[in-house]
Amino acid sequence: MNIIEQVVKSGMVAIVGPPNAGKSTLMNSFLGQKISIVTPKPQTTRNRIAGIVNERDHQIVFLDTPGLHKSRETLNTEMVKVAMDSLLEVDLVLFLVDVSLPLPEKMKEEKREELSSYFQQIKSPAIMVLNKIDQIDRKLILPMIDAYAQLFPFKAVIPISALSGDGVEELKREILALLPMGPRLFPEDIPTDVTERFLCGEIIREKVFLLTGQEIPYSTAVLIESFKEDESKNLITIHATIVVERNSQKGIVIGKGGEKLKSIGTSARKDIEQLLGGRVLLKLWVKVHKNWSQDKRFLKEIGL
C-alpha cells in the first residue's frame, strides 16, 4: 500500500486569533522546529503557512494565519481575508487568545462584538486556546475558561503556554480526538507546503522586524530575486530585495555606512544556513516602491 493512502488520523487545523496571540509560536512548538517567523511585534505573519506534523498514526496540517484585526489598509484587509478564508477549508479551528489581555466581560463592547463576528464565521469544530498562561496567576485560569466557554460552543477550552510547551501535549490530544480518519494529505517527509525561497524571504523579513523600529517593519516586504545552488562549492547564493515605501525608510534600513543592512544580512544568513544546511552568500538590496502596501498587484506578488 502506498504510504500516502494509509488511513490515519488526518486533517487540517487552522490556528486563528488576534495579532500577537502566539499563533506562530504554537505552530513551531507542534512541529519542533521553526517554520513561521516570530517577533514581539503584532501582525508579523502575513501569509498562510502550513506546518505538517507527521507521526506513525496521524498527520496534522496546521495553518498559521495572519492576526485577526479591523483595518481599512489594503495590506491588512488582505491579511485578514487570508485568515478568514482558512476557516472554510479545515477540519478543526484553534482560536488563540492572549490571557494577559482583558477578559471578555472587561473588553470594550466594540472589541467583544469584533470577537463574536469572527466566531460566527467558524463552521468547523473549534477549540479555544488560552495562551501565555505563564504570564498570569494560575488562580485566574479557571474563571477564564468559564468566561470563554460561554462565548461559543467550543469543543474544549485549553490553557497553554506555547513558549514553554505547558499544556501543548494536552491540546494535541484534544485535536487528535476531533480529527477524522483518512489518508495523509502530504508525503511524510514534508514539514511545510512553502518553498525554501519563501522561508528565506521570511527570515530576512523577521530580521527587519527585530532590528528596526517604529513603522519600518510594517512598511517592508522582501522579494527573493535569485536563488542559486552550486553543489561543487557547497554554496547557495541568494539575492534579495527589501522593499520599502519611502526614501526616508530606505535610509533607515541601510543605516549609517550600511551598518543596519549589514547586521540584517549577517543575522539572516546565519538562520538561512541553519535552515538549508549549507554555506550561504546573501546579497541584500533596498528598493523604494511607493505605497506598495496599497498596491494590489504587488501584494499578489508577495502572495496576498
Tens of pLDDT, residues 232-279? 888 999 999 999 999 999 999 999 999 999 999 999 999 999 999 999
Element (H, E) at 177: helix 168-178
By residue range, what is the domain housing residue 147? 3-183
Q: Are 63 and 49 in contact (CB under 8 A)?
A: yes
CATH number, position 88: 3.40.50.300
* pLDDT of 2 over the 80 cut: no
Residue 191 is assigned to a structural domain of this protein: no
Task: Please tell me the total count of domains within the chain.
Answer: 2
Element (H, E) at 211: helix 196-211
Element (H, E) at 250: helix 247-254
The partner residues of 181 in beta bridges, in order of sequence, read 9
Whether residue 177 sits in one domain with residue 38: yes
End-to-end CA distance of the chain: 38
CATH number, position 260: 3.30.300.20
Mean pLDDT confidence for 292-300: 94
Whether residue 58 sits in one domain with residue 171: yes
Residue 288 is assigned to a structural domain of this protein: yes
Rounded to two decimals, the pTM is 0.91
pLDDT band at 5; cut points 50, 70, 90: low
Dist. CA 112–CA 102, nearest whole Å: 11
Domain end marker among 132, 151, 183: 183
Whether residue 215 sits in one domain with residue 153: no
Residue 190 is assigned to a structural domain of this protein: no
Whether residue 177 sits in one domain with residue 54: yes
Mean residue pLDDT of the chain comes to: 93
* pLDDT of 87 over the 60 cut: yes
DSSP letter for each residue of 228-246: EEEGGGTEEEEEEEEEESS
The percentage of the chain sitting over the pLDDT mark of 70, rounded to a whole number, equals 98
Burial (CB < 10 A; 0-12, 13-18, 19+), residue 154, is buried
Residue 189 is assigned to a structural domain of this protein: no
- Give 66's DSSP letter: P
Whether residue 178 sits in one domain with residue 211: no
